[in-house]
Amino acid sequence: MSSRTVVIGVDSSTQSTKAAVIDAVTGEQLAVGRAPHVVTGEGGARESDPEIWWRALGDAVAAGLKESGLPARSVTGIAVAGQQHGLVVLDRTGRPLRPALLWNDTRSAPQAADLTAGLGGPGAWTARTGSVPVASITASKWQWLRENDPDAAKAAVGVRLPHDFLTERLAGVAATDPGDASGTGWYATATGAYDPVLLDLLGLDPALLPEVAPTGAARIGSLTGAAAEALGLPPGIAVAAGTGDNMSAAVGLGLGGAGLLDHPVLSLGTSGVVFAASRTRSTDPALSGFAAADGTYLPLACTLNCTLAVDKVASLLGLHREDTAPGGEAVLLPYLDGERTPDLPTASGLLTGLRHDTTPQQLLGAAYEGAAVTVLRALDTLLRACGLDPDAPEVASRPLRLIGGGAQGRSWVETVRRLSGRPLVIPAGGELVALGAAALAASAAGGGDPVALATSWGAGATGSQLDAQERDMETWQRVTSVLDRASEPLLGG
């Protein structure tokens, strides 16, 4: 065991940190250490202290190494994949000036609308960044900070994303990558650089921002002595630029220029996410036209309400999450945190179609259906952005890869299968975000393309495959009819 060479891939998500200890040659997952985060805020506010992420990173690495039984000297590289969009502002010592605004903090919805109009509308934004401002993106949060906490904005000498913050703690270098940077709203996928027009619009000095590495696998430095002591790792090991969580999951699945292109993925987590690696740069305002970690593109759509919202409905009904039945006439849009796709940031949940014979199990099933239809509608938009007709037989028969915690749940899998009418693949590899980060770390330490490396590891290999079944068009049409009529006033906005 001690002769193994390993890397550590870190998934720093909204709720927790996971540190996967991965064999750098075979890709075998040897251990995963975990540590929780703390999220605070009521209403639309969602914040976390970045120092908690750093402590959680240390705890997760220590737990992973202990579980693996390997000495720290076996580790040759580390990379962080982090939750996208969060805004971290730093003082001169590199310490956070205030809690970070998280991706699911919706208070900046008015600023997003003002920014969209300020540049000339959605088309002007997608032409530059590939994405239109919504409450989630970092630019909207920066504008909110300038208006609501101007002292912190003025005092900031560093502006970072969550993964940037942790990477800088590791290597002592302010660096990011094109993938995560493309979710800020001030990085232009059209040019591959920070956009001076957008920085001017935001009143953001480019000197506050990290340098953009060529890819997430680029070695941006070495683990500092202080970081090595804090994490119990050898000083001097490779630190990769890292990337955002969705970009890292794509690497872990072997999606990108050296792997599969235009193959859709549905991630069922706190948020519902659909994405695909593509050589086509998206300019569809309905999507986030992100860059991928390997130099390709990652068009993506994200809904705010997925597994967490459905679990809340289960809790309210006093049911286990798997105690469900098809919704029947009931339609439930579980927009408990507002919604990003469609862009209804101040929305609340909507329930309609109740009858005397509606059961609690049907209500829970309707919550699954509402969440699933919302994200599957975004899938059709995604496929069109990749230049594909979602209804063409050769496209409709292309398997939909399911990842995230929901992919391990029977009700989620069967609801997606029933409403999509697509064959499903549930990859064998677990912790795909951390696994993708490990591939970035291994590439930084030893060279090579991270997507090709992850493909050789077999991370995205099929664990189980479910054939397509006849699509439940009756439920689809019932839910989409309600969704199409939905508006902010109707949903409580």
Kindly report the CATH number assigned to the domain that includes residue 52. Answer: 3.30.420.40
Q: What is the pLDDT of residues 36-72, one digit of tens each?
A: 999 999 989 999 999 999 999 999 999 999 999 999 9
Question: Quick check: 293 and 438 in contact, CB under 8 A?
Answer: no
Residue 287 confidence (pLDDT) above 90: yes
Q: Please state, in angstroms and rounded to a whole number, the distance separating the CA atoms of residues 128 and 1.
A: 50
Q: Which domain holds residue 187?
A: 6-247
Q: Please state, in angstroms and rounded to a whole number, the distance separating the CA atoms of residues 480 and 489.
A: 18
What is the token pair recorded at 237? 């090991």
Top pLDDT among 157 and 342 is at 157
Give residue 487's pLDDT.
56
Q: What is the pLDDT of residues 187-235, one digit of tens each?
A: 999 999 999 999 999 999 999 999 999 999 999 999 999 999 999 999 9
What is the token pair recorded at 61? 């690495």
Which among 281, 317, 324, 285 is positioned nearest to 301, based on CA atoms? 285
Q: Is residue 452 part of a domain?
A: no
Q: Give the number of other CB atoms < 10 A from CB of residue 328.
A: 20
- Helical residues (DSSP H) of 83-224, grouped into ranges: 109-119, 122-128, 138-148, 150-155, 162-171, 178-181, 196-202
Mean pLDDT of the 148-163 span: 98
Question: Quick check: 97 and 89 in contact, CB under 8 A?
Answer: yes
Q: Is the dihedral of CA 192, 195, 199, 201 positive or negative?
A: negative
Q: Is residue 12 part of a domain?
A: yes
Give residue 488's pLDDT.
46
Give residue 340's pLDDT.
84
Q: Is residue 354 part of a domain?
A: no
pTM check: above 0.95: no
Summary count for the chain: helices (H), strands (E)? 17, 24
How many domains does the chain contain in total? 1
Q: Is the dihedral of CA 139, 145, 146, 152 positive or negative?
A: negative
User: Which letter does DSSP use for residue 130 in this model?
Assistant: S
143 is in an annotated binding site: no
Q: What is the pLDDT of residues 367-405, one digit of tens each?
A: 999 999 999 999 999 999 999 999 899 898 889 999 988
Buried b (16+ CB within 10 A) or exposed e, 359-389: ebbbbbbbbbbbbbbbbbbbbbbbbbbbebe
Mean pLDDT in the chain? 95
Q: What percent of the chain is predicted at pLDDT more than 70? A: 98
Q: Is residue 105 part of a domain?
A: yes
Give residue 428's pLDDT.
82
Question: Quick check: 70 and 232 in contact, CB under 8 A?
Answer: no
- Helical residues (DSSP H) of 28-137, grouped into ranges: 50-68, 109-119, 122-128
84 is in an annotated binding site: yes
Q: Please state, in angstroms and rounded to a whole number, the distance separating the CA atoms of residues 132 and 122.
A: 6
Say whether 239 sits in a helix, a strand or coil. Answer: strand
Question: What is the distance of C-alpha 323 from the center of its chain?
Answer: 28
Residue 2 confidence (pLDDT) above 60: no
> Which residues does the annotation mark as catalytic?
245
Q: What is the pLDDT of residues 328-354, one digit of tens each?
A: 999 999 999 889 888 888 899 999 999
Give residue 492's pLDDT.
44
Q: Is residue 160 part of a domain?
A: yes
Q: Please state, in angstroms and rounded to a whole number, the distance separating the CA atoms of residues 423 and 439.
A: 28
Q: Can you state the angle between helices 109-119 and 138-148, rounded to 10 degrees?
A: 110
Residue written as token pair 């990859």: 427
Q: Is residue 305 part of a domain?
A: no
Q: Is residue 32 part of a domain?
A: yes
Question: Quick check: 180 and 161 in contact, CB under 8 A?
Answer: yes
Q: Please state, in angstroms and rounded to a whole number, the distance separating the CA atoms of residues 414 and 202.
A: 44
Give residue 43's pLDDT.
87
Q: Is residue 479 part of a domain?
A: no
Say whether 86 sits in a helix, a strand or coil. Answer: coil
